A and B are shown apart, each in its own frame.
Chain A
């Protein structure tokens, strides 16, 4: 019926071109990413084994495994999670269930956004000034965890808020109408219905905390600390500790004659941990979305 004009053809060509160029832009970010990860794993392959995880670094960190760093990261992440999760979840409950749409709420939201944007090294300065020196905790796992907790707080607040606001308002109204108080409604209806969504945010916090280096550098992480291999209670919260991210930084920049595979293997363990934890969070979210009932 209609014959395609030259004008129409050129428009179509422009569209195709745009699509190809944009697609190639995306591909040019994603393909190198996989190449890099593949290369890291390939270089690390000779060292990767369970032994690597469970033995201590030896010979000035030129040999051996990463046990003391791995355990330190576990301590830091667990403790920072214990501090950040309750505060973050309650803050999100306040923002979503209690706060009204006022200038004050707007300022709180602004503060959350800005807290997320504060550079990690400024968090380190804060941790040093506030916890290590002012509060007199000293350089320790506790001080480092507190710093990490404040740094990762916005992650928990943001995702918990999202999970809470996904609970329909009618659920709350039904609950109020049978005479439940505000807290009873939250406790009995809102939290149970959003707990898995909150969990995804908490998992995300773990992955953030595990990868951070700058905030723990001056508040509790050390280059080297000798602990007993295989004992998971080797640190106390008043001790300084090694951490995986810090360990990678050290053996990359300070230990120049380490065997080539060693930093690669450390990087792969760190990257693998963080990506797996993240994938867990994403998987949980996708699963939840698929079985959402309302």
Chain B
């Protein structure tokens, strides 16, 4: 029922020009001028709020850019050095260097490992909930996944320090438990809910006739899933993975607390790293407003904004492709 309402063709929704009787009848009763004026004003306010999301996205970019711009275009800053060297010594006395490659690799390694854990689990859970569960069990699982998504990232970080850290030390007998593996496990748990909900949506969007046709041919449920549903829903599932990646790249508090603090390229999953987000969170408090260090942190912010923007944009374009097809 809801779906039908949502998918009504545009022609069925009367726009201002398409609801001709409406205003004239009201005017015939002579509504007071202030009331009409109020309504016009309110409609403009609604339009303004409607475009507020666009204003905010541009505003975010503009203000973050504004704080970092002076240094970005100054002669002391070289984009190549910034992106491709691993030496991050923003407070060095003798030779200040801003190279974020180690931070990018840090973010990348944590994200990739997190996705290696989260993608099979997230999509597996989406398939299980969508195709093998019915009724009450399905509802309960969906609610638990939703509650999983609600856990604040600082609590995840605390779990990383207080529970995962000693656990990793004993189980894998490594000296430090705050490392790539710890952060990636937390990020995996944090990005699983969004994958499950988007993945489940895209499986639900596959028409039942597909399932019926496969079952009528004698396929088992599992065969139907592998041969029919997954190919049909692959764009939606890809978008789910991309949104999970976006979530993992942008996550701050959990990785700040759980990945250890070492600006270096990791050689194993038990090496500590530092991510782009954690660097901003850890250093912005110490950098004095307007200093080079402060501006570089804003440039890192622009980098992060760009990465997540591209990831989210592609996820959205992929989903839109699904809806059109």
Which A residues form the contact surface with B (CB < 8 A)? Answer: 11-12, 14-15, 18-19, 21-23, 25-26, 28-30, 33, 36, 39-40, 43, 86-88, 90-91, 93-95, 98-101, 107-108, 110-115, 117-126, 128-130, 133-134, 150, 153-154, 157, 165-166, 168-169, 173, 176-177, 179-184, 207-208, 210-214, 217-218, 245-246, 248-249, 252-253, 263-264, 267, 270-271, 274-275, 278-279, 282, 286, 294
Contacts and interface: CB of A to CB of B under 8 A. Distances in A.
B120 interface: yes
Nearest to B150: A278
Contacts of B304: 119, 121-122
B59 interface: yes
Nearest to B279: A121
Nearest to B192: A29
A283 to B, nearest CB: 9
Contact of A114 (B50, B57, B159, B297): B57
A94 B155 contact: no
B157 A252 contact: yes
B152 A212 contact: yes
A213 B57 contact: no
Nearest 7 CB-CB pairings of A with B: A211-B152, A94-B50, A119-B250, A179-B25, A90-B49, A117-B312, A22-B128
B181 to A, nearest CB: 15
A125 B313 contact: no
Nearest to A268: B155
A39 to B, nearest CB: 6
A176 to B, nearest CB: 5
Nearest to A207: B150
Interface in B1-18: 1-2, 5-6, 8, 10, 12-16
A134 B141 CA distance: 46
B257 A249 contact: yes
Chain B interface mostly: helix
B305 A119 contact: yes
Interface string B48-62: 011111101101100
A168 B5 contact: yes
Contacts of B312: 113-114, 117
A115 B58 CA distance: 10
Contacts of B132: 19, 22-23
Given A122-B60, A125-B284, 5 more contacts: A14-B223, A101-B10, A133-B289, A154-B53, A177-B21
Contacts of A270: 152, 154-155
Interface of B: 1-2, 5-6, 8, 10, 12-16, 19, 21-23, 25-26, 29, 39, 42-43, 45-47, 49-54, 56-57, 59-60, 63-64, 66-67, 120-121, 124-125, 127-129, 132, 139, 141, 143-144, 146-148, 150-155, 157-159, 161-163, 189, 192, 220-223, 225, 243, 246-247, 249-253, 257, 277, 280-281, 284-285, 289, 297-298, 301, 304-305, 308-309, 311-313, 316
Nearest to B311: A117
Contacts of A275: 147, 150-151
B153 A100 contact: no
Given A122-B250, A253-B257, A108 B39 contact: no
B252 A120 contact: yes
Contacts of A218: 284-285
A98 to B, nearest CB: 6
Contacts of A28: 121
For A33, A133, A179, which residue has the most chain B Cβ atoms within 10 angstroms? Answer: A179
Contacts of A263: 158, 162
A220 B279 CA distance: 19
A119 B60 contact: no
Contact of A217 (B8, B158, B285): B285
Contacts of A15: 220-223
Given A98-B46, A126-B64, A248-B158, A25 B120 contact: yes
Contacts of A115: 53, 56-57, 60
Contacts of A108: 50-51, 53-54
B152 A36 contact: no
B252 to A, nearest CB: 4
A249 B162 CA distance: 12
Contacts of A33: 144, 148, 189
A99 B21 CA distance: 20
B152 A271 contact: yes
Contacts of B247: 117
B289 to A, nearest CB: 7
8 contacts: A26-B128, A93-B46, A122-B250, A129-B67, A169-B8, A218-B285, A249-B257, A278-B147
Contacts of B222: 11, 14-15, 18-19
Contacts of B298: 125, 129
B281 A214 contact: yes
Given A133-B289, A253-B257, A118 B148 contact: no
For B47, B143, B151, B309, which residue has the most chain A Cβ atoms within 10 angstroms? Answer: B151
Contacts of A168: 5
B127 A213 contact: no
A128 B23 CA distance: 46
Given A130-B63, A181-B39, A264-B162, A26 B54 contact: no
B252 A121 contact: yes
Contact of B158 (A117, A153, A173, A252): A252
B49 A169 contact: no
Contacts of B311: 117
Contacts of A125: 63-64, 67, 280, 284, 297-298, 301
